[in-house]
Amino acid sequence: MELGKTSTTFEIPGHKITRNLGLVRGIIVRSRSIFGTIGASLQTIVGGNITLLTELCEKTRFDAYTEMMVHADVLGANAVVGIRYESAEVMSGVTEVICYGTAVVVEPV
């Protein structure tokens, strides 16, 4: 699958959807390590971007996205439209991130 054929809208510019294969998702549940928590706490003293947590969030979103794309590939999709992210705190220090969308087959117009 080409990872570039994704969209938050329900179309891929220059392509037409020929088949809708349904919902695909990638779910990651991640916790902060004690070292990450201490490091982030120290960064809050200085203020500004908490880079340790930013990096953790970016990696978690990327991993959820990658899992979603693998799910789409298994279904035979070559694109995913309507992509969304959601997150929730499962318990203190543990967060779930889900990336989901609609797996489709597209052809160039």
Domains of the chain: 15-108 (3.30.110.70)
Greatest C-alpha distance within the chain: 54
Give the pLDDT mean for 9-22. 95
Dist. CA 57–CA 52, nearest whole Å:
9
Dist. CA 4–CA 17, nearest whole Å:
15
pLDDT of residue 24: 98
Per-residue confidence at 56, pLDDT binned at 50, 70, 90? confident
Give the pLDDT mean for 33-46. 56
pLDDT of residue 4: 61
Residue with tokens 């088949």: 19
pLDDT of residue 40: 52
Secondary structure (3-state) at 74:
helix
Q: What is the rounded average pLDDT for all residues in the chain? A: 86
Give the pLDDT mean for 14-39. 83
Interior angle at CA 39, CA 36 and CA 45, nearest 5: 140
